[in-house]
């Protein structure tokens, strides 16, 4: 049986802010068609790693490879095409308050030359159905929606254009357990149907357990554990044991001055 190739490969990623080493040699990989979840305490570098992969922040060192090719730098001629392969759900959904739902979902598509607004609106309605929402809300504004609905609209926007890669940053943050399970199911179903590869950043252990093929844990800018998701409850890694079992005692020492990256 042929082993699935790596879609995303991160090796020895470094990023500092002054004296703070926010990413200090992080390495992980995601195979094509799989879902990797990044877990870890606040300030461990999870969201920052995604920003570096996307080129939103320049890395100080390391390698980022997508489909075996080195990621281009922001501002180069290849960068725009590079970004088109990603669908992104931002923290807190990141919806534009002044745009109706359909324009939020189709925002990137509407920027393309020759885009037809009617066709984009129809696509937005289709993606709403894909995340379990009625197409009747296409003309609503984000403020008219509940938190769970806004989150699903954010996922619909990430799915627009059928991207090869999905980045979902804290997809269940602030949601009740029932809605979180709904979102988890939507993530898995849509990733599988699209055939996409996904990285999910989460502090929600239920999300990590339910959506992941593999899990990487970060702590203080370093990867301290990476393996198949079904092995996370069996490891004796002290960082994983403390975080997964929500223990106060252990190698993870939280500070009120921790920075969130």
CA count, 13 A, side-chain hemisphere, 248: 0
| Radius of gyration of the chain, Cα coordinates, nearest whole angstrom | 18
Q: Tens-of-pLDDT digits for all 261 residues of the chain? A: 456 789 999 999 999 999 999 999 999 999 999 999 999 998 999 999 999 999 999 999 999 999 999 999 988 989 989 999 999 998 777 899 999 999 999 998 998 888 899 999 999 999 999 998 999 999 999 999 998 899 999 999 999 989 999 999 999 888 888 888 988 998 999 899 989 999 999 988 889 999 999 999 999 999 999 999 999 999 999 999 999 999 989 999 866 444 445
Token code pair at residue 66: 């997508």
241, 249 in Cβ contact below 8 A?
Answer: no
Query: b/e map of 74-83 (b: 16 or more CB within 10 Å)?
Result: eeeeeeeebb
C-alpha distance from residue 39 to each of 30, 216, 239 (Å): 15, 6, 11
pTM of the complete model? 0.91
Q: Does domain 1-85+165-176+196-261 have CATH number 1.20.1250.20?
A: no
35, 200 in Cβ contact below 8 A?
Answer: yes
């Amino acid at each position: 049986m042929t082993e699935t190739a790596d879609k995303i490969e991160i090796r020895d990623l470094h990023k500092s802010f002054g004296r703070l080493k926010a990413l200090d040699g992080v390495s992980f990989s995601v195979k094509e068609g799989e879902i990797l979840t990044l877990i870890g305490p606040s300030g461990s570098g999870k969201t920052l790693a995604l920003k570096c992969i996307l080129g939103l922040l320049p890395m100080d060192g390391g390698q980022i490879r997508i489909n075996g090719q080195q990621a281009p730098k922001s501002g180069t001629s290849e960068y725009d095409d590079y970004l088109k392969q990603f669908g992104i759900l931002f923290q807190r959904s990141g919806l534009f308050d002044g745009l109706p739902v359909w324009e939020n979902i189709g925002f990137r598509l509407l920027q393309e030359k020759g885009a037809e607004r009617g066709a984009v609106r129809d696509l937005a309605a289709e993606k709403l159905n894909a995340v379990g929402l009625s197409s009747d809300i296409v003309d609503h504004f984000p403020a008219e929606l509940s938190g769970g609905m806004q989150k699903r609209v954010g996922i619909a926007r990430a799915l627009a254009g059928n991207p090869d890669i999905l980045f979902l940053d804290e997809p269940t943050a602030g949601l009740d357990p029932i809605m979180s399970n709904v979102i988890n199911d939507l993530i898995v179903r849509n990733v599988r149907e699209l055939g996409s590869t996904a990285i999910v950043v989460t502090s929600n252990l239920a999300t990590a357990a339910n959506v992941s093929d593999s899990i990487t844990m970060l702590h203080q800018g370093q990867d301290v554990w990476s393996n198949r998701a079904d092995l996370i409850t069996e490891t004796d890694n002290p960082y994983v044991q403390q975080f997964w079992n929500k223990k106060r005692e252990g190698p993870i020492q939280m500070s009120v001055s921790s920075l969130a990256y």
